[in-house]
Structure 1
Amino acid sequence: MQMLIRKSPWFFLMLIMFSCIDPYAVEVEEGVQLLTIDGMVTSGKGPHVIRLTRSDTYGSVFEGLVRPVSNATVIVRDNEGVVTFFAEDKDDRGMYYSPDEFSAIVGRSYTLQIQLTDGKVYTSLPEKIESEIAIQDIYFRSETSPVEGEINLASGVGIYVDVEDPAGQNNFYYWRNGPSVYELHTRPDLYVDRETRAPAPKDCCNLCYVQEEVGNYSVFLSNDDVFDGLSTRMKAGFIPDDGLRFVTTFRVDLKQLSITAEAYRFLRLVKQQVGISGSVFDPPPANIRGNMISLDNPNEVVLGYFMAAGEVEERIYINGADLDFRQQDGLIPDDCRVVDDTTLDPPADWLP
C-alpha cells in the first residue's frame, strides 16, 4: 500500500528560502597594531633593557601577534639633562640595551624617549628613582596547590623577605626574579638510539649547569599602608618545580625595587586583570593605560609602562634536600649538553 505524504505550504516556503541564500562574506577590519613598551632603569648595575613591540588586537588570523620594533632611536634622559642611548641587539630585534656601566641615580627623574623609523616620537612621563630599601633576610619554603582534574599537586618554592620599612614615608615594593642557575642531572647511560630503538649509552655527561630567566609567574607587590616604619615579612617570589630545578642546587638573584606610587598603581591593576577567573564576581576589565604618550597623536593608545626604581639584589641558594615537598625527579635519558642553555662548568661565582 502506497502512503501519500501531504506537505504543508510552509514546508515548501522554507525550502525555497534556505535554497536561495548566498554565502555572506564577512570582512573584518585589520586590527590596530599597538606600540608596546616594556622596560625600566634602576640604580642597580647595567645593562638595562627596553623592549619595543607591536601587538595586533585582532585580524591577520592572529599571525605575528607580537612583532619587534627595530631601528628605533631609544634614549633615556634625566632631569639634569644627561642623555643615555640604548643600542638595539642585532641578534634579538626590538631589544634595546643601555651601556653596561649605566646605573640610574637615586633622587633623579628619568624620561624615556623613542623615535621610530617613520618619524613618530613617543615619550614617557618622568619617573623618579626612589631610595633603595635593604633586605634584612631572605627565606624560602615549599608551597603546593591543587590542580583541577589532577591527582598530583602543583608545587614550587615561595621566596620571602624581611624588610625594615622606613617610617614616615610611603614606600612601594616590587619584586622580580633575576637570572637563575641550577644543576641539571641527566642519565646518558639510558640513551636509546632513535632509529633502531636499541640501547646506546653515552659516556658523557650527566651534570650540567642551566642558566635561565625563570620569571615570577605573578606580580609581587606591596605597600606600607599597614606596616609603615615596622619590620615585616613579605612574599617576594615563587618558582615552579618542574622536576628538574630542585633536584640538588638552585640559585636565583632576587631584585627588590622601590617604585613610584604611579608605577605601583599600574602594576596593581595589571595584577588584578591577570587574576580574573571568569566568574560573575570578577571586576570588569579595565583599560590599563601606562605612562607613554605619542607626541604626534595624543589620542593614540600606547601600551606598557616605563619604570625607574631603586634596586637592591639578594642571592639565594635553594637545596632540594631542604624542601618539604618536591615533584618527582624528571628523567632525561641523554647527554645533559643537548639541553638548551647548559654548560659543563659552573659560573665563576657559584658558591652554594
Structure 2
Amino acid sequence: MNNWRRFSILAMIFLVFNSCVDQISFPLDRGVEKLIVYGQLSNLDEDKFVFLSETTSADREPLFAGQYLVLNDLPRPVTTAQVFVVNTDNQRYLLNQIEPGKYMLPRNVEIREDVSYFVEILIDGRVYRSEPEQMPQVVGEDELGYTFSRGNFEGAPETAFISIVSDVQLPTADIPYFLRWDVDEAYYWNLTFFPNPFNRAPPDCYVFGFPDPERITLFNGENAPASGQGGSQIVAERIVDESFLSRHYFNVRQVSTTRGSHDYWRRIRELVNNSGSVFDTPPAPVRGNVKNISDPDEVVLGYFEVVRVSQNRIYTTRADVPFFIPEVCTYDPARPLDKYPRTCLRCSEFPNSTTQTPHWWFDQ
C-alpha cells in the first residue's frame, strides 16, 4: 500500500482497505539522511500503523526496481527497526512489520482515553521517542455532498472535476480543540473481460488513493462558538476520469488533534503555500515530535499523533456523472493484447489495490 516513490509526510496512514492516508510530497536536502516517521492512534476500530522511511543521500546504493537497478534520491523504507507503542501506564505493544517500512498495531489493542501514548523506535542502537499525547475529548461531524463542474482546474481549462463538500458540525464544547480533514478515495476498476471457454469474469479490483493530496484543511477551535455550528467547505477536488465508471468512494475523516499536531500541520501548510509548489525545495525541514533521545539535535521528520476521529463516506456511480467518460478497458476483438493499458489486464498494476472487497463497501 505504501508509495515510497515520493516522500509522504502523512502516509496513509491509515489506508489499508478500511482506512485512509493523506500525502504531502516534496524533495528534501540531499547528502544528509533523515528519518521520516508517521503514525496515528485513533478511537476507530481499525488497524493502526507507523510508517518509517529515510531520505536518501548521494552515495546510496542502487535500488532494485523490477528487472534493473536505479539510482535516485527517493526515500527508502526502514526495515530494520523495532517499533513500540507505549502509554504512560507502561503498557508496551510491539508492532509487526507487514510491508517494508510499514509497522502495524492490530485493531484488538484498545487505545485508552485516560492515558497518553508515544512511539518508541529502535534502529541500529539508536532510540527515538515521540512526545506523549492524549486523545482529545471532542470531535465534530461531517454531512457530505458533491458537485460536478467543468472549468479551469489546476491551470487546465475546460476540465471536468468533482468537489467533495462538507457541511461541518463543530464540536459542542467549551474547551479548545483543533481539527484537520483527511480524505482518501477507493473505487472499483473494471478489468477487461476477455472471452474464454468458461465465461469466467476477471477478478474484482479495488483501487485506493488520495484525491487531493496537497490540500491541508485545518481549523483552530480555540475561539469557536460552543454552539457547534459550522459551515460549508470543500475538503477535496479531483479530475473526473475512468475511475468514475463504477462506484467511487470518498472517505472523509474529521480528525481532532492536539495543539502540537495542529501546529505541525500548520507549518507544513505554510511551507507548501509559501514555496509556490510542493515540488519546490523547501527552505528548511519541518521537525515533528520524534527525537533521538541520545542526540536531540538530529533532525527527524514527520509526526506521531493521538487523535479522535469521526468518519463519513460518500460515493458516486456512473449515473451520477454528467460528463461522457470513455471506457478504456472495453474488449474489442480487433484490438491486439498489447494495445490494452496494463491496468486493464491486472489489478496489481495499481500500486494501492486489492481483489478483496473492503468490508464496508456495501454499507451504504
TM-score, length basis structure 2: 0.72
Name the structure 2 match of 1:272. Answer: 270
1:39 correspondence with 2:30: no
- The alignment yields a C-alpha RMSD, in angstroms, of 3.5
Does structure 2 retain, via aligned residues, the 8 Å contact 1:36–1:302? yes
Name the structure 2 match of 1:182. Answer: 187
- d(CA) in 2 for partners of 1:135, 1:149: 33
Does structure 1 retain, via aligned residues, the 8 Å contact 2:192–2:329? yes
The offset of 1:259, in angstroms, is: 0.1
Matches within 5 A, 1:43-192: 43-56=43-56, 63-89=72-98, 92-116=99-123, 118-135=124-141, 137-142=143-148, 146-147=152-153, 150-153=156-159, 155-178=161-184, 180-185=185-190, 188=193
- d(CA) in 2 for partners of 1:75, 1:37: 13
- d(CA) in 1 for partners of 2:88, 2:234: 31
- d(CA) in 2 for partners of 1:105, 1:344: 31
For 1:240, which of 212, 235, 238 is the aligned residue?
238
Does structure 1 retain, via aligned residues, the 8 Å contact 2:159–2:239? no
Does structure 1 retain, via aligned residues, the 8 Å contact 2:79–2:100? yes
Name the structure 2 match of 1:249. Answer: 247
Secondary structure of 1:267 counterpart:
helix
- d(CA) in 2 for partners of 1:149, 1:168: 42
- Provide closer, same or farther for how the CA distance between residues 291 and 208 of structure 1 changes in structure 2, counting only shifts above 3 A: same
For 2:218, which of 217, 221, 231 is the aligned residue?
221
The offset of 1:293, in angstroms, is: 0.8
Q: How many aligned residue pairs are there?
A: 307
Name the structure 2 match of 1:211. Answer: 207
- Give aligned-pair identity as a percent: 22
Name the structure 2 match of 1:331. Answer: 328
- d(CA) in 2 for partners of 1:204, 1:233: 49
- d(CA) in 1 for partners of 2:203, 2:93: 42
Instruction: Give 1:222's aligned amino acid.
Output: F
Instruction: Give 1:54's aligned amino acid.
Output: E
Secondary structure of 2:189 counterpart:
strand
Secondary structure of 2:261 counterpart:
helix
- Provide closer, same or farther for how the CA distance between residues 301 and 105 of structure 1 changes in structure 2, counting only shifts above 3 A: same
Does structure 2 retain, via aligned residues, the 8 Å contact 1:71–1:88? no
Consecutive unaligned residues of structure 2, counting only runs of 5 or more, are: 1-28, 63-70, 332-339
Q: In terms of Rg, which structure is larger?
A: 1
Secondary structure of 1:240 counterpart:
strand
Does structure 1 retain, via aligned residues, the 8 Å contact 2:40–2:50? yes
Deviations 1:60-92 (A, max 9, x none): 596252111112111111122221211111xx2
TM-score, length basis structure 1: 0.74
Secondary structure of 2:271 counterpart:
helix
- d(CA) in 1 for partners of 2:102, 2:186: 23
Deviations 1:306-327 (A, max 9, x none): 111012222222234335x547
Secondary structure of 1:33 counterpart:
coil
